[in-house]
């Protein structure tokens, strides 16, 4: 349940929150551009609405039949990666902008490997460099990654090639030391359900690329994203990377219907990872084309200068020349489907782009979306960076997670 308090004073807000706490209802404060929301994280579904509507300062009460309200209307439609250097172009993902391609090795294997590949993927048209330093391998006997040293090599490579860098963290302890060396935190499929990790990433001020768990439903993915959003980090990118099915000709089954469905349910950008989905290099190109045709905001693809020599996931690694052909195709497909594309620019024009995006023109305060059930969603127009989240006092003191 969410209470909208309009522009209530700090005193009124605190009184509402104390009132809720006295009833055992934990809550989180979300400060948007024009209103303050109190998100009740405890189960309040069976309590009558008048208890809340009669509280001094409460303008509107919204019951959520939807468990992922923030991703739908509060999240930024366009996620911006910090440029590798002041001379690099801004990388923006989502909001109908042309698709982006992120590429790099499954694992960072050494300085030379990542530097050479960074230049190659940049030349192929990729806008960011990926590479695993903390590898969540299925077998404990496989290469586990170079850790922080690997991240340092990749940051150096990214700086040289002018590419922001994306890498996975698998534990809360890795976040702080890794942060100076990466531009996007990746949460891997195996960690999508690691809610404490998600919450901590929600407290960071860097974009998070959240991959769908291999057996996760779409709703579970969206609800996992909510853990990051609720902590105040609205820069979340979702990623479909294939799910486990009975099919064994491919490593996983690429669920492209998830792209269309997720886009109907949230404003967050969606990437597709064809590499982990199919696991075989000959199928990366057709699946990449299909992903862009069905509306993905971009791709994350594993590549290597000598694919067969990759220390991990060699079977799915593609050469930079194949990557270049894929990127060319994705641009052709996007252009064919979007004759007047949204132009990815900067400064004032970017602001205009954002206001023309899917989240644009939304009314202030809370409203029921046109295609939703009663009180199903939140509608709030926000400006970039105009949201802050305050921790609920009782929750942090007690250390108890919300329901």
Q: Which is nearer to ligand PEP, 262 or 359 (CB)?
A: 262
CA 384, 385, 390 angle in degrees (round to 5)? 140
Longest dimension (CA), the chain: 67
Separation of alpha carbons 292 and 97, rounded Å? 12
Closest distance to ligand PEP from the beta carbon of 271 (Å): 11
As beta bridge partners, residue 301 has 103
Residue 211, binding choice from Mn ion, ligand PEP, none, Cβ under 5 to 8 Å by partner class: ligand PEP
* 221 versus 285: smaller Cβ distance to ligand PEP: 221
Residues at the site binding ligand PEP, with contacts judged by CB under 6 A = 106, 132, 136, 168, 188-190, 211, 241, 273, 276
- Contact call for residue 189 and Mn ion (CB under 5 A): no
Q: Which is nearer to Mn ion, 61 or 210 (CB)?
A: 210
Q: Which two tokens stand for residue 16?
A: 């509402």
CB of 255 to ligand PEP, least distance (A): 13
Both tokens of residue 339?
A: 């004759």
Residue 188 contact partner, candidates ligand PEP, Mn ion, none, CB within 5 to 8 A by sort of partner? ligand PEP
Q: Which residues pair with 318 in a beta bridge?
A: 303
Contact status: 278 vs Mn ion (CB under 5 A): no
Residue with Cβ nearer ligand PEP (7 or 171)? 171
Minimal distance, residue 159 CB to ligand PEP, in Å: 21
Q: Which is nearer to ligand PEP, 122 or 276 (CB)?
A: 276
263 φ/ψ angles, rounded to the nearest 5 degrees: -65, -25
Q: Nearest approach, Cβ of 189 to Mn ion (angstroms)?
A: 10
Select the span of 232-240, 313-321, 337-345, 379-387 touching Mn ion (CB under 5 A): 313-321
Helix 218-230 to helix 257-265 angle (10° resolution) is 40
How far, rounded to the nearest angstrom, does the alpha carbon of residue 73 sit from its chain's CA centroid? 14
- What 3-state DSSP class applies to 227? helix
- Please choose which of ligand PEP, Mn ion, none residue 241 contacts, taking the beta carbon within 5 to 8 angstroms, the exact cut-off set by kind: ligand PEP
- Dist CA 102 CA 131 (whole Å): 10
Residue 386 three-state SS: coil
Which residue in the set 26, 297, 313, 380 belongs to the binding site for Mn ion (CB under 5 A)?
313
Residue 266, SS3 per DSSP: coil
Tokens at residue 124, please? 């192929």
Task: Work out how close the CB of 312 gets to Mn ion at its nearest, in angstroms, rounded to a whole number.
Answer: 6
Closer residue to Mn ion, CB minimum distance, 72 or 135: 135
> Is the Cβ of residue 188 or residue 232 nearer to ligand PEP in the bound state?
188
Query: Which residue's CB comes closest to Mn ion?
Result: 106
Q: With CB cut-offs between 5 and 8 Å by kind, which of Mn ion, ligand PEP, none does residue 298 bind? A: none
> Are β-strands 236-240 and 270-272 bridged in parallel, bridged antiparallel, or unpaired?
parallel
**Residue among 312 and 379 whose Cβ is closer to ligand PEP:** 312
Q: What is the DSSP string of 128-184?
A: EEE-BSS---SSTTS----HHHHHHHHHHHHHHHT--EEEE--SHHHHHHHGGG-SE
Q: Is 106 in the site for Mn ion (CB under 5 A)?
A: yes
Binding site for Mn ion (CB under 5 A): 106, 313
């Amino acid at each position: 349940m969410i209470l909208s308090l309009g522009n209530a004073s700090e005193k009124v807000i605190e009184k509402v929150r104390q009132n809720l706490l006295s009833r055992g209802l934990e809550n989180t404060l979300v400060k948007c551009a024009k209103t303050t929301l109190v998100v009740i994280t405890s189960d309040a579904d069976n309590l009558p609405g008048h208890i809340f509507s009669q509280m001094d300062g409460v303008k509107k009460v919204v019951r959520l039949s939807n468990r992922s309200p923030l991703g739908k209307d509060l999240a930024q439609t366009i996620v911006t990666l910090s440029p590798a250097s002041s001379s690099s172009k801004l990388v923006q993902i989502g909001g109908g902008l042309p698709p982006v391609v992120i590429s790099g090795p499954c694992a960072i294997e050494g300085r030379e490997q990542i530097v050479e590949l960074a230049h190659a993927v940049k030349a192929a048209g990729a806008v960011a460099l990926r590479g695993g330093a903390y590898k969540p391998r299925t077998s404990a006997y496989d290469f586990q990654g170079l850790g922080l040293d690997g991240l340092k090599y990749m940051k150096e490579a990214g700086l040289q090639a002018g590419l922001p860098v994306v890498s996975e963290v698998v534990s809360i302890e890795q976040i702080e030391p890794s942060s100076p060396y990466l531009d996007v935190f990746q949460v891997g499929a195996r960690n999508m359900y690691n809610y404490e990790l998600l919450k901590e990433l929600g407290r960071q001020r860097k974009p998070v690329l959240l991959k769908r768990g291999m057996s996760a439903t779409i709703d579970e993915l969206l609800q996992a994203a909510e853990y990051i959003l609720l902590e105040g980090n609205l820069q979340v990118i979702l990623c479909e990377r294939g799910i486990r099915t009975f099919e064994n000709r491919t490593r996983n089954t690429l669920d492209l219907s998830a792209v269309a469905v997720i886009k109907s349910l949230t404003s967050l950008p969606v990437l597709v990872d064809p590499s982990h989905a199919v696991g075989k290099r000959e199928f990366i190109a057709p699946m990449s084309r299909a992903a862009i045709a069905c509306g993905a905001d971009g791709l994350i693809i594993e590549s290597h200068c000598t694919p067969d020599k990759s220390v991990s996931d060699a079977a799915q690694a593609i050469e930079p020349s194949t990557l270049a052909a894929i990127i060319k195709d994705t641009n052709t497909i996007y252009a064919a489907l979007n004759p007047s594309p949204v132009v990815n620019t900067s400064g004032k024009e970017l602001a205009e782009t954002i206001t023309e995006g899917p989240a644009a023109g939304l009314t202030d305060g809370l409203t029921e979306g046109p295609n939703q059930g009663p009180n199903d969603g939140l509608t709030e127009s926000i400006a970039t960076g105009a949201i802050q989240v305050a921790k609920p006092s009782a929750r942090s003191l007690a250390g108890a997670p919300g329901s």
